[in-house]
Every structure is written in C-alpha cells, then in structure tokens.
Amino acid sequence: MAVERLASLARSTDVGDRVVALRHDLHESFPRGRFDLICAHYLHTPAHLDRATVLRSAAHALRQGGRLLVVDHGSTAPWSWNQDRDLRYPGPREVAADLGLDETTWTVERADSPRRIAEGPDGRTAEVTDHVLLLHRTA
C-alpha cells in the first residue's frame, strides 16, 4: 500500500522519472545500489525483525560520504499497539553499538533523543521521545 502510494505520488510530480518504489522483505534482500542517504523511520514491528542485520546492510549500502538516518521510538505513545510498561527502547548509541561497525569507516554524527508533540490516528496529541542516530560513511 505505502509502496503503491509512493509510486503514485511520484508519478504526479515532475520528478516521477527519478523515483523507484520497490518492495523488499529486508530479511531476504536489500535494494541494490549505492546510496547517499538511507532513512529508517520507526522500523519497529510485532513480527520478528533482525534490525541490527538490516541496519548493518543499510550502512554497507552507503557510498563514501553517505549517511544512514535511523529514527526510532524512544517512548510509548498513548495510541501505540504496544502498551507494555516494561518495554525498553535502546538509545541511539546502543543501536549504533549493536551494528558493530568499524569506527574508521562509519562515524556517529548525531545521537540524541529529542521530544516532540505527536498526533495519533484518532487526532489525540501527546509528547513523545524519538531516538535519532545519524551515521556517516567516511571511507
């Protein structure tokens, strides 16, 4: 659905011929190519997902000078499907450490936890925390 929506939006703009919308099960495959920017926003799911492996593949798919932006939930919104009080959200430095990347090739440019006012699907608003990690491939 999101992939079709992106493809349709792209077609309605004058950059449509530069946008490629693909569906991948990231456990099985990763889009081919070398990228300047890869974004992974809220890559959380109740299904099994080996996030570290997927994000490591993303870091390796950057070209030199490219960046990987990972934005994760850092708190539970009142409308979240997961209201487990014991749920712990790994901080951005922990996420980076889990990837086990060579620090001479990938450096952490940003690792912080800003707060923002979010709007839920029912229109309610609440203050939430995001965990933001920005990795830069320097070599």
Q: Site residues (CB under 6 A) for ligand SAM?
A: 24-27, 41-45, 47, 49
Q: How far is the CB of 132 from ligand SAM (least distance, A)?
A: 13
Compare residues 65 and 78 and give the one whose CB is closer to ligand SAM: 78
Compare residues 27 and 34 and give the one whose CB is closer to ligand SAM: 27
CA distances from 63 to 20, 35, 36, 124 (A): 18, 5, 6, 40
Residue 130 has a CB neighbour count (10 Å cut-off) of 19
Q: How far is the CB of 70 from ligand SAM (least distance, A)?
A: 11
Q: How far is the CB of 33 from ligand SAM (least distance, A)?
A: 17
Which of 41, 71, 63 has its CA nearest to residue 137? 63
Q: Are residues 67 and 40 in contact, defined by beta-carbon separation less than 8 angstroms?
A: no
* Residue 54 DSSP SS3: helix
Compare residues 21 and 49 and give the one whose CB is closer to ligand SAM: 49
Q: How far is the CB of 103 from ligand SAM (least distance, A)?
A: 27
Compare residues 69 and 105 and give the one whose CB is closer to ligand SAM: 69
Read out DSSP for 19-53? -------TTT----S-EEEEEEE----SS---HHH
